Structure 1
């Protein structure tokens, strides 16, 4: 495929962005693989923004045969971590790599809203010490930073592979201008668009120059209960909402078709 390129960039071939799907189970990884994903990001607690999965879950998903990048996030909430939390995530990085992860997804901020370069460097170093070939992605903590574009400019010096971001907007489709700016300043670091992303957003995101698109492609699972329902936690607002998310094959397939149409159109 050839194209006109982004404003200010020369015309020429436009590489097809990679397709990454967020999954929470081996079944989700199988769905992603069967319907055209290039890799998966594995986590638990997708409804909480994602948390570190167990070693056993990483092993099971790695056995599916698709590259697995594992989110390392020790708790929900903000991305400002103390020394004990950072040390825990350093250990989690080593654990998930030993369990078969081909990449890790990390991040940390300072209380002032800057990138916590000390914590990020520790986490990235632990990944590379475990396996030099492991890819390291900065997660959407960057979207909560005081200046996502300025933060993106820091990434080439940290030895990261890519950054997952909505461009600091509520959704990636709303963050196009800032995503394009991040592509410009993060030389050598892949910018992956994600956050409320729909397959229909993909053409505009690809035109902005992103190297990959990330979708949760999720739907609520049908509850499988054998008795009456009672609330068990703050998130259990209703019987219909008290379930988990699964990967929707139709959304993955639509994203793949959209990407392929850019390649062949």
Structure 2
């Protein structure tokens, strides 16, 4: 699930991170900390790929935490060559789903896998705040089955399954993550049960999740900023996730200026999120630099 907090950084921070890019790249290897950028557009995916992201999480409606992207957008982003992990979320709001919601998401999983995504991002909770093991297993099974019959040119049977930040809303995020390895999940996106990953780090919850994850890879996300990167890497996460976005408005306009007609909720504007190339580049450099000094982590190779 996408990082809903706008990520910002000073020009000085970005310049400093750019300065260590060469050293970081030289030390990179197969186990380098992965960078995942949440994007909502083809342009964002191209920017993320060009500036060093290892993959993108593709969704729409970042302002509500993200929902499933359209088939057309998915196919266009897959065609860029960047590994695409597509969010599967039928609606905004909570993560307690009924059978109708799950049926929709199963269909979305199959459609996304057929479009050639490298991974899907799923998650569900029960009303009591525990992980909905049955719902997650159902979505994982749909993903594996769909990958098993797709042609090699669209990725074949290889498919990553990530559980999103629904675990951060669980009554016990640590227990929720500990249950994932039995479900065939590859990765979990988590802030450690906090609004921001740095707060989950400070509380000790994020390190506890890293320790409890077993063979499930832990990806830190949730309000991640450039100055959080070194501490997250030191905590042993395998990947870092952020939107690296900034607000933009169209230069084209309509008529003689902004329209007085609102097409959304009260207070909505024509601003939209775009991927900040300099920030993606800076975070990639910071990750590589932090990896050089990190002690061996408990994550599984």
Tell me, yes or no, whether TM beats 0.5.
yes
- Assess if the C-alpha contact under 8 Å between 2:33 and 2:291 holds in 1: no
Q: Which residue of 1 aligns with 2:75?
A: 59
SS at match of 2:180: helix
Q: Which residue of 1 aligns with 2:179?
A: 154
Q: Mean Cα displacement is larger for which, 187-196 or 175-184? A: 175-184
- Assess if the C-alpha contact under 8 Å between 1:140 and 1:165 holds in 2: yes
SS at match of 1:242: coil
- Equivalent-residue separation in structure 2 for 1:90 and 1:226 (angstroms): 39
Q: Which of the numbers 257, 272, 276 marks the counterpart of 1:244? A: 272
Q: Which residue of 2 aligns with 1:172?
A: 197
- Equivalent-residue separation in structure 2 for 1:206 and 1:258 (angstroms): 10
SS at match of 2:179: helix
- Equivalent-residue separation in structure 2 for 1:99 and 1:57 (angstroms): 10
Q: Which residue of 2 aligns with 1:140?
A: 165
Q: How far is the alpha carbon of 1:14 from its aligned partner?
A: 11
- Equivalent-residue separation in structure 1 for 2:120 and 2:249 (angstroms): 30
Q: Which of the numbers 38, 48, 51 marks the counterpart of 2:54? A: 38
Q: How far is the alpha carbon of 1:261 from its aligned partner?
A: 1.4
- Assess if the C-alpha contact under 8 Å between 2:35 and 2:53 holds in 1: yes
Q: Which residue of 1 aligns with 2:299?
A: none
Q: Which of the numbers 264, 286, 289 marks the counterpart of 1:233? A: 264
- Assess if the C-alpha contact under 8 Å between 1:48 and 1:76 holds in 2: yes
1:214 aligns to 2:241 (yes or no): yes
- Assess if the C-alpha contact under 8 Å between 1:142 and 1:168 holds in 2: yes
SS at match of 2:158: coil
Q: Which of the numbers 249, 262, 265 marks the counterpart of 2:290? A: 262
Higher relative contact order (CA 8 A, sep 6+): 2
1:205 aligns to 2:228 (yes or no): no
1:98 aligns to 2:123 (yes or no): no
**1:20-39 to 2 correspondence within 5 Å?**
20-39=36-55
User: Which runs of 5 or more structure 2 residues have no equivalent in the other structure?
Assistant: 1-28, 148-156, 294-301
Question: Which stretches of structure 1, 4 residues or more, deviate above 6 A after TM superposition?
Answer: none
1:123 aligns to 2:139 (yes or no): yes
TM-score using structure 2 length: 0.80
- Assess if the C-alpha contact under 8 Å between 1:31 and 1:247 holds in 2: yes
- Assess if the C-alpha contact under 8 Å between 2:181 and 2:214 holds in 1: yes
Q: How far is the alpha carbon of 1:231 from its aligned partner?
A: 1.7
- Equivalent-residue separation in structure 2 for 1:178 and 1:14 (angstroms): 27
RMSD between superposed Cα atoms in Å: 1.6
- Equivalent-residue separation in structure 2 for 1:48 and 1:152 (angstroms): 23
- Assess if the C-alpha contact under 8 Å between 2:249 and 2:270 holds in 1: no
- Equivalent-residue separation in structure 2 for 1:76 and 1:116 (angstroms): 17
SS at match of 1:175: helix
SS at match of 1:33: helix
- Equivalent-residue separation in structure 1 for 2:31 and 2:232 (angstroms): 12
